[in-house]
Structure 1
Amino acid sequence: MKRLFLLAFAVCIGAVLIGPATAQEKLRIGGAVQVFPLYYLPIYAAQENGIFKKNGLDVEWVPSQSGADLTRAFAASAIKIALSSAATDSLAIARGVPLSVIGNLQSYDDFAIWSSSKGRVAKGEDLKGGKIGVSRFGGLEHSYGQLAAKKLGIDKDVQFVSTGGINESLAALVTGSIDAVVLPAASMLTLKLEGKVREIAEIQSLLPKEWISYTITAHKDFIAKEPSTVKAVVQSIFEANRFIMSADGKAWAIAKMREINGYSAEAASASYDTLGLSKNGKIDTEGLKNLLEFLSDYQMMKKDEVPAVEKIVDDQFVK
């Protein structure tokens, strides 16, 4: 009995000692937004198909509420690696946050300008004299809206309104207090299929052909101290992407979007068709140069703040 007691005591002590260590091994992977399919699909695909486990990773998905929140998490070292956007990354690096873009999730952006189907604005030119809602001034929505207004020749005849967020923008559009919003297709699919909104200007067609939009980004200290872990994450994400973009992965991705976003079958299928997830993560430096020029032209960063491409990119894991 004494031996059994000592053995049980040893097991309990071992559990106490091992438990915290195991918890510490769980890797927190961040994301700029919680319910954006481009961010969550690779994570859930890697988790549910055993890809992370196969590569020796125990992952916790920790999405933020915005790109700015993700930048703050990186700056505080609360997150070491994340699915992000190249614009957010570039701005953070220009302001001194020690990050590197280590992979390309998707090169194009599916933002557009949308109007209410019941409103007066049926095409881009109708925005002359109107109000365009954006979540905040100085963000990507604002810059994309400025780009579209300039291309349409109405940049001096529109007013931008800072609504405070995506939901607030949609509420203002529905009530008619603004004439249009600048948002990605993923945020508008259900309303579009219900006939409540219409797309009046596609942003992608106004951008240079070479572009980069969504990324995998990591803290430089994490890359230096744990390169094998970083490599395992990158390999897992792009294996997950290859699954998502395959015939077998399509049905899984559509079901997952219906579960997470509450999409109808039609909306989920339409959302899947907009996915252009990279299968290898190769980083287009020309696309990044074009993005940096855009950020400078539209005053998201000062010209003397623009970092060199080599200070942004670390492509050792996707070569």
Structure 2
Amino acid sequence: MMFPYILFTIVLVQQLATNVEGQAVAWDDWWTYEGITGPQFWGLVNSDWVMCKDGKMQSPINFRANQILYDPNLIPINFDSDTDKMNGTLINTGHDLTFQVDDRNRVNLTGGPLSYLYRLQELRLHYGSIDSQGSEHSVDGYSFPGELQLLFYNYDLYGDLAEATKGTSGLAIISLFIQIGNTTNPELDKLLWNDRLQNVTYKGAAARVEDFNLTNLFPTTPHYMTYQGSLTSPDCAETVTWIVMNKPVYISRKKMTQLRNLWQNTMGQKETPLADNFRPTSNLNSRTIRTNINFTTKDKMGKPCPTMKSKKAYQTNSWLVKPTS
């Protein structure tokens, strides 16, 4: 029976959250993406993470063609920065590879579906141990090898990320799918430079990053999909406006192999890959996915560009990023 198994697992995880000296260990050090500390149990073992279990606006999701609406009122996203380049620290958190932007580097996000100004806090990288998985979001069931998420907090309403996470319209996350290509995007390559990756092999390790250009990281497209969702890690707060760009960023196979040699444990512990750090998709429920792509125009080849018809019947999904894009 399922209930006794779940009850046993909850008790076991709660016991594991106590170290050998009988002291409680912070939950942030215990959650993972697999097993008895994985997504299935996030909302069961910690009352502060109840949204992971009961939330109706959870992320990530699978983008299905017949659920996407063209919204002519969606405008392009806009970055406003006091510098073309930024500095920060690349950290192996044990959950993902995070680039924390220095406080003095102010990068603001407006436009798109947003009503407020949002400030960049960090970039988080999710990826898989094999090419057929790794991204948190998926497109018609297809998963990409990785996903880079740029996390912004609402600077108009809140003082910092922690406060924004607890508030309404607190966060905006831009998602860039990562696809295998012949070469790595130059700015992504700068972030994941060979020596730098070697310095963040284990959990807690960090390396400085200088002169990172956010604009050069982005694929050349104004098109995106957007929906209301949540953080994809505990506490799964449902305060995120997601903006998923319609073209991927490329990474070489060699660079992806290097990423797959990073570990989620500290040095000296049993080595467990950092890869496969993605949460399974959640139900869309009653939410609407919108896009700024319009089928009424045609591309250079004379083919109709995709959009949603007023009757909400999806004409084609050929615009969605594909494995061969």
Give TM-score scaled by structure 1 length.
0.21
Over alpha carbons, which structure has the higher Rg? 1
More helix per residue: 1 or 2? 1
More strand per residue: 1 or 2? 2
